[in-house]
Every structure is written in structure tokens, then in C-alpha cells.
Amino acid sequence: MVHMDATALITVFFNAEIAEDARPLCSLRWRGRYHRRHIRVRRSSLDKSNADRHRLKRLTMPRALITGVTGQDGSYLAELLLEKGYDVTGLVRRASTENFARIEHLRDRLTLVQADLLDQLSLIDALERTQPDELYNLAAMSFVPSSWQQPVLTAEFDAIGVTRLLEAIRLVNRRIRFYQASSSEMFGQVREVPQTEATPFHPRSPYGVAKVYGHFITVNYRESYGLFACSGILFNHESPRRGREFVTRKISDGVARIKHGRARALALGNLDAQRDWGFAGDYVQAMWHMLQQTEPGDYVIATGEAHSVREFAELAFARAGLDCREFVREDPALRRPAEVDHLIGNSTKARTVLGWRPAVTFPQLVDMMVDADLAALGR
């Protein structure tokens, strides 16, 4: 109990101002509704100056912790949560060089803490320090071709790393709501088209195998310990923030380089491989919706449309006024050891339960990415 000048018991609602030293006495869980807490505070601490009002307001914000905050999805999710009034903390690995380009415009609104999915104690410490209401695990070894070169490290991050996070939640605070970034790569050699939450997994890469483990360990902790843990089985989602090693960004960047005279050709792997491509900014909204439900669950997030790599390239070159047949060549060395040919998702559950629908169409996505790379190289 906090001693006061004149002790007063006040009822604090979600939008009330509360004293900072009272924060440990209550755990404010925000789910879009007002939550009542009875706490004792110092009246003198309810200062009305602008600086103190801002400080006190942060205490009533819902708190989110994002792993992988510096990546494509992490940056879009951080933007979304900040817009919704969250106090957002990003978990970053210690490194000799910083790579914060995607979140540079958010740095003054984010808190960054150091921890590592390979280090259990650092994760426990991060949860104790940040006291999040929601934890979004977006960190991963996410470039599928690299998983054949580094299969063990991929498993450490994408499989065992998920277990370490869930263990940290179990030990620190089981009320934390957890989102796991699962992947359509888990379906691999597909058993049915389109794929749903009930479609059996048959991964075709070390990355896909590790993601299956991460998916099922999330289900296991939900069922074993009653955690509010969800998995989003996200199909391919792209944006101008996508890394250049991914085929979509490789194409848009290649188009821009050819258009500006900095390259003459673009080498690609399997042009006939089909993917269900959406916009990353749309998909992070689905992540947030999952953690606002009354019951946890797993959801396929997809557009329901399949397009080939060839089609993506044709639209991208056409956007720049070029004919892809003049510049694109197929390189067998760029094919995967075990190819995944036809991924297309059925997101009926997400559309029905979450009310989620993609807003950006496939042609709009291609145009967005090409325009961004043309502008970047034209500066």
C-alpha cells in the first residue's frame, strides 16, 4: 500500500491518470474495454502539467513487446500498435552494427531492450522489465533458402526459440497474450488446395520444419498451461520494406536498377512457382485481432489468390514501361533443393471470426513495391 497525504481510495478506469509509483500495484489489461482497478495513490502525484500528464498516461496504456521489431512485419506492427495507443517495446539482439532503418521513423516512440531467443535468462529478464500485456514473436531466420545452409541455427531460432519465449511467459506471467508467427511454408508439399487451418503439414525446407515445431509447441503450451497463445499461419506478405533477398523485392529492385541503367538483366529461379501474396501492412492487423479475442486460436491469413513468380515479374516490369521477356532469365542454380510449387490459403476463419480482410490487391502491391524502388534509386 502507498502512504498518502490524505489517504483516498479511488477507482481508476482505463483512461484515468494514475501515479507512477502505483503501477506495480495493478496489472492493467486492456482489451478495447474499460477495466476497473481499485488502488491507493498520492493525490499530490496527480500533477496536471503537460509533461506529467504524458508520463501518467503511459501507465494506463496497454503494453506490447515485439520480437523482430526491426524487420518488415515488426515495423508495420509497431506502427499499428502505436496508432492504437500502445506502449510498445521492441526486443533486439546485441550486435556490433545497428540495423534500424525500418523503424528509424519510430525510434522516439519506441523502447528497445536487448535480449536473444538463444538465451533463456535474457528473455525472462525482458519480460520482467517490460511487463507486457501482449507479446508478438516475429523474430526468426526467415529467408527459406538460407535454412539449407544453416539448418541447426534455423531450428534454434524458429523452433527452440519459441519454446524459450513460452517458458518465459509461463515463469513470469501466464496472463501475457502470445502471438506466434507461423508460416504457409509449413504446408510444403500441399495435401489440398487451398490450405486451411486443418490441412496437414508437409514442410519442404529446414525453415518449414522448424516453423512446424514452433507452431505445435505454441498449441501445446496453450493446452498444457492455459496460455492465451495464438498462431497466425501467414501466407507470403510483402512490402517495400521486404529484404532484397526475397524474390518479390529482388524483382522490384531489379526492375528499378534496369530502368535506371544500373543493371542489364535479372536472374530468377522457378518462374512457375505460385504463391498467395498479400501486403504486410494488412497482415499485421490480423495479428492484433487474434490477441483481442475471448479465446485463443490459430488462423490462416491469406488473400485466397495464387500468382506465379512470372506474373509478378511481368507486372513489375510493365509498371516501369519494360518488357520482362527482354531482361529476365531463369537460373537453375537459384531453384530450391525441394520446391514448394502451389501455396494458396483459405482465410475463411479469419474473415468470419476476426472480421479481417486484405485491403491491398496483388497489382496494387506490385505497383507499390516497384514505385518505392524506382523512387529510392532516383534520388
pLDDT score recorded for residue 29: 43
Which residue of the set 86, 134, 136, 185 is catalytic?
A: 185
Question: pLDDT by residue (tens digit) across 114-148?
Answer: 999 999 999 999 999 999 999 999 999 877 878 88
Q: Known catalytic residue: 83?
A: no
Q: What is the length of the chain?
A: 379
Residues of the chain scoring pLDDT < 70: 1-59, 96-97, 341
Question: pLDDT by residue (tens digit) across 14-64?
Answer: 343 333 333 333 344 444 433 333 333 343 444 455 555 555 556 678 999
Which residue of the set 75, 147, 182, 183 is catalytic?
A: 183
Which residue of the set 136, 207, 221, 283 is catalytic?
A: 207
pLDDT score recorded for residue 253: 98
Vertex 269 angle, CA 277 and 318, to 5°:
60
Backbone φ, ψ for residue 47 (5° rounding): -75, 140
Q: Whole-model pTM?
A: 0.84
Question: pLDDT by residue (tens digit) across 265-278?
Answer: 999 999 999 999 99
Q: Known catalytic residue: 185?
A: yes
Q: Known catalytic residue: 239?
A: no
